[in-house]
Amino acid sequence: MQALLAAEAPASLPATTPTRRRARVAVLVGAFVLLVLGVVLSLALGVREVAFGEAWRALTDPVAGNVDHAVIRGQRVPRTLIALLAGAALALAGVLSQGITRNPLADPGLLGLNAGASLGIVVAATAFGVLSPVGAVWFAFAGAAIAAVVVFAIGNGRPVQLALAGATVTALLTPLSTLVLFRDVDALNLLRYWSVGALNGRDIDAVAVLWPFIAVGAALALFSAHRLNGLALGDDVAAALGQGVGTTRVLAGLAIICLAGAATALAGPIALVGLAVPHAARRLVGSDYRWLVPLCALLGPVMLMAADIIGRLVKADELEAGVVAALIGAPVLIAVARGRRVAGL
């Protein structure tokens, strides 16, 4: 059995030495420091610059009528919370998607969640007359969840079939949504607002509605992390080691549904966070999912907050975070594409 594991194990899964463990802990600590710094900058920087001390006073001792305090509490706190939740959720959903499909290009969009959420938005506007973004998040989440369930049912837990099922569901739902949009202006306006992929304009009420799903998904992701290491060896080897391959994929699939469904409903279909962050994390800690999953949970919000802050500063009327995130993630994916292989997949 040891000879078999040596032959099948990815090259980037060596035994963890004390030195390597300390290096990985240092990376996690560094990522956490970046996350804290990102939160501070997200609260202080923007079209209206606010001093760091004033931002702190806005949180701890707000003054009624103070414009800076109103901006911090009414606009920047909600978008910072959304960046924290959506960034972590998208990155975790991405690393889980790549783990269960063993596909380096897997992300929530590949599994049909974005298309399902879009159709949910369209149904909310056309069938139920729900035109507010907060009201529509439930429909977006439901659409993403239903699409994911269909994909996992068709794919039957097999990596290649999951990718094909996701592409098929996306190909079916996207033109269906487009057909309805051509006939309903209200649905078009709501979907256009949501599909930009932004953190501004979202309400704190949406965070209150969706954070429990992200919390459950994150817990399932952490619980599934060591099991994904078995899948990286191949289904046959994982089964020979006594691991329930089907159970692992079900748990990870439920986590993806909760994470990607809630994040997509909350912030829109922000591209490349779920694709680029896991690859960047592998370069830092290797392909051991016990380290990859928590690191992605830290780096995802860092990337999304950085995109949001850059978008605020480069234009007076702000550039949407989804656009900037794509510009940040593209170089990472180019570096991966130029490499010969992706370790652990």
pLDDT in tens, 297-313: 999 999 999 999 998 88
- Contact by Cβ (8 Å): 66, 58: yes
Which helix (H) or strand (E) segment holds residue 149: the answer is helix 133-155
Res 336: pLDDT = 67
Q: Is the pLDDT of residue 149 over 80?
A: yes
Res 6: pLDDT = 38
Res 37: pLDDT = 95
Q: How far apart are the first and last CA of the chain?
A: 21
According to DSSP, residue 72 is labeled I
Res 35: pLDDT = 96
Q: Which domains does the chain have, with CATH numbers?
A: 29-338 (1.10.3470.10)
The four Cα atoms 211, 215, 216, 221 give a dihedral, to 10 degrees, of: 130
Q: CA 113, CA 144: separation in Å to the nearest integer?
A: 4
Q: What pTM, to 2 d.p., does this model score?
A: 0.86
Structure tokens at 153: 């049912």
Res 302: pLDDT = 95
pLDDT in tens, 269-287: 887 898 899 999 998 998 8
pLDDT in tens, 101-126: 887 778 887 788 888 988 888 888 88
Q: CA 114, CA 264: separation in Å to the nearest integer?
A: 7
Confidence of residue 316 (pLDDT cuts 50, 70, 90): low
Q: Is the pLDDT of residue 242 over 60?
A: yes
Q: CA 259, CA 318: separation in Å to the nearest integer?
A: 27
Confidence of residue 293 (pLDDT cuts 50, 70, 90): very high
Confidence of residue 32 (pLDDT cuts 50, 70, 90): very high
